[in-house]
Homo-oligomer: A and B are copies of this chain.
Amino acid sequence: MEQTIKVKTAHHAYAVKIIPNGLSQLGIYLSKIWSKRQIAIITDENVAPIYAEQVRQQLGSAGFTAQLLVIPAGERSKSWQQLIKLIDQLAAWHFTRSDGILAVGGGVIGDLAGLAASIYLRGISIVQVPTSLLAQVDSSVGGKTAIDLTAGKNLVGTFYQPDLVLIDPTVLQTLPERLVIEGYGEVIKCAALVGSNFWQLTSKIHSVADIYKFSSELIAASVAFKAKVVTEDETETHQRQLLNLGHTLGHAVERAAAGRLFHGEAVAIGLYQICRLFEKAKLTVSPTTEQVAQRLQAVGLPLTDEALATPAFYAALTHDKKIHDGRLTLIYLEKIGQPNFYPWSLKKVIIWLKRELPTIN
């Protein structure tokens, strides 16, 4: 069953389509939105052996001229080096503004290819085909693109919307289990923000097998929420900040763990800890933290990590790119489905965390 969710920003309107086995009809869907053109398939070394040939055939039989560029897998590819390589390749293929990019992969591919699409010739069209659960529920929707600097993650990027996001939940079958679980961390975050039916849906998830079973519903609910937020506020001035629930502490612990934690795992930790801290401060009602913990633990997501509250954790927090004039805005839950903003000075946040966060080491 095909589900379509519309996203609308100041400059651009597009659809996110959730289509089981959609990858095997990719040519048809691209033909509906794009005239005949050259298409650069950007993918990584993990995805290419499984899907590159199928995607290339889909494009060919739909009358497109397909080019293929395979990027090394992993966060390290969100680099200047890979960005330049990608753009040089587009220029070598003589890509014009009427050609397009097809990003087939997880968040790394989506972020890198999205940035390339947004700056090559001041912007060429792109379609996102996210293949990890994390990318399907989060990074492929909203138009954020990025590469990393030595100084921090996602420090260079743009807001740039694709022409279509095509999500095929069946590709999760070929995804390593730990990546499915981390993606579910972001799903829980969305469900906690939305509450109501979405939070109810997550009560059915008692194992990784349940994530597969309900993948279409979980993805659709997450995307619908994110699409609504992005439609209202593309560039993160207010409403979009809600999506950062669990991310301030999450990013810091992810950074401090130096690659040991996946992003969705770090978000799970950040989400649980911010609930625990705000519940202690009487701003989050009981038993919100307990409910969140149950949902996360049902699939084996972590609630804490030894990198939490280490010097590296605080160093990362200090360089959070959402700090403005020495202040940052923590997102917390008054209860499930009722998030709120807590703007505070960085200095006070750190004093508070040093007092309240357990040092597990």
Which residues of A are in contact with B by a Cβ distance under 8 Å? 10-11, 35, 37, 80, 84, 87-88, 91-92, 94, 96-98, 115, 118-123, 144, 146, 149-152, 155-159, 235, 319, 321-325
Contacts and interface: CB of A to CB of B under 8 A. Distances in A.
Contact of A157 (B35, B119, B324): B119
B91 A149 contact: yes
Number of copies: 2
A208 B51 CA distance: 63
Contacts of A84: 80
A122 B97 CA distance: 22
Contacts of A119: 115, 119, 156-158
Contact of A96 (B94, B120, B324): B324
Given A96-B324, A151-B92, A120 B319 contact: no
Nearest to A94: B319
A271 to B, nearest CB: 23
A323 to B, nearest CB: 6
A97 B324 contact: yes
Contacts of A319: 94
A322 B210 CA distance: 51
Nearest to A10: B10
Contacts of A322: 97
B149 A88 contact: yes
Contacts of A151: 88, 91-92
B156 A87 contact: yes
Contacts of A325: 35, 37, 96, 98
A112 to B, nearest CB: 13
Nearest to A120: B156
A156 B80 CA distance: 13
A281 B58 CA distance: 46
Contacts of A35: 325
Nearest to A121: B321
A120 B323 contact: no
A92 B87 CA distance: 26
Contacts of A144: 122
B156 A158 contact: no
- Counting chain B CB atoms within 10 Å of each CB, the highest count among A152, A156, A159, A319 belongs to A156
A36 to B, nearest CB: 8
20 contacts: A10-B11, A80-B84, A87-B149, A88-B149, A91-B151, A91-B152, A94-B319, A97-B321, A97-B324, A98-B324, A98-B325, A115-B119, A119-B119, A119-B158, A120-B156, A121-B321, A123-B158, A123-B159, A123-B235, A158-B158
Given A87-B156, A157-B119, A158-B118, A96 B11 contact: no
A152 B122 CA distance: 13
A123 B156 CA distance: 9
